[in-house]
Amino acid sequence: MTKAKMLREMLASGKIVMAPGAYDAWSARMVEQAGFKAVYMTGYGVSASVLGRPDIGLISENEMVTAARNICNATNIPVIADADNGYGSALNVVRTFSDYEKAGVCGIQIEDQVMPKRCGHMEGKQLIPKEEMVAKVRAAVYARKDPDTVIIARTDAIAVNGFEDAIDRAVAYKNAGADVIFVEALQNREQVEKAAALVGAPLMANMVEHGKTPLDTADKLYEMGFRIAIYPVVTLYSATKNMQQALAVLKEKEDLTASMPYETDFPTFNQMIGVKEWRDLEKTFVCGQ
């Protein structure tokens, strides 16, 4: 079974698809090892990891595709990936979808922001016209080679034009062929509860620490009509905090042993990353083994 087919079956399974964020191949491996059945490649995290810069439209399509390919190659679970605003016009979306599918991505998300875009929970966002985004969704449908690949259309209209325009856009994107709708930065419980009923399509929820959308449990989100829940920065923020603590202690104490409580030990890491399996495989290629 293909990974895209796996994602389609998960969407129809009667349970929400929980997809923690990953910003590189190793964080994606850790998501899989923790037992999750899907992973979300976050543009916010990739921008931080690859460029050391904020998610304000600095990362390129090529850099995102490279990150997606590495994540897909490192994991055995479906990858849902942020493709920002498709990196240009509807024709750029055709290229982006082709590149992402070739990289192994099963769920591809595009949004209706202008370039340069902004993180969905930042201020200062601007939108393209609804008709232009409808054309981008149609371009995604055209470009899709695997019918099981999930097209996710995101609208950032709440922060710019308000809830009613966001719903109007979401319905238009659904009608253009999007499989899942992502109404970004829902601001209160009333909006969260109304969104799925008004759009009439499977929704994706964005659970961001200290973001604009109220946090909720996976079961509750499913009851309200959400079929995918992403947790885009849980790996990035937890890794950042632990690295800060370990480095601060090392700087203060000038003694590596003081930082070790914040670290995974050498044997454990080697086991997690599969050293034994790769060495065993290597032996099968050697004559006389």
Question: Domain-by-domain residue ranges, the chain?
Answer: 3-239
Per-residue confidence band for 108, with pLDDT thresholds at 50, 70 and 90:
very high
Task: Please compute the mean of the pLDDT values over residues 42-62 and round it to a whole number.
Answer: 94
User: pLDDT at position 196, please?
Assistant: 83
DSSP-assigned states of every residue in 73-140? HH-SS-EEEE-TTTTSSHHHHHHHHHHHHHHT-SEEEEE-BPSS---TTSS---B--HHHHHHHHHHH
Place of tokens 């997809």: 19
Judge whether residue 258 has pLDDT over 90. Answer: yes
Distance CA 163, CA 218 (A): 23
Read off the pLDDT of each residue in 3-17 and give the average, rounded to a whole number: 97
Q: What angle do CA 65, 66, 69 make, to 5 degrees?
A: 85
pLDDT for 209 beyond 70 = yes
Here the tokens at position 216 are 């909720």
Cut 0.85: pTM above it: yes
- Output phi, psi for 84, to 5 deg: 50, -130
**Whether the Cβ atoms of residue 180 and residue 19 lie closer than 8 Å to each other:** no
Please state, in angstroms and rounded to a whole number, the distance separating the CA atoms of residues 271 and 5: 30
Assess whether pLDDT exceeds 70 at residue 102: yes
Residue with tokens 């890794």: 239
User: Which residues of 61-210 form beta strands (DSSP E)?
Assistant: 79-82, 107-111, 150-155, 180-183, 203-206
Q: What is the pLDDT of residue 57?
A: 87
Topology of the domain comprising 3-239: TIM Barrel (3.20.20)
In this model, does residue 5 exceed pLDDT 90? yes
End-to-end CA distance of the chain: 34
Q: Nearest to residue 180, comparing CAs of 84, 108, 128?
A: 108
Q: How confident is the model at residue 105 (pLDDT cuts 50, 70, 90)?
A: very high
Contacts (Cβ under 8 Å, ≥6 apart) of 93: 86, 87, 110, 136, 139, 140, 143
Confidence of residue 288 (pLDDT cuts 50, 70, 90): low
In the chain, DSSP finds a helix count (H) and a strand count (E) of 14, 8
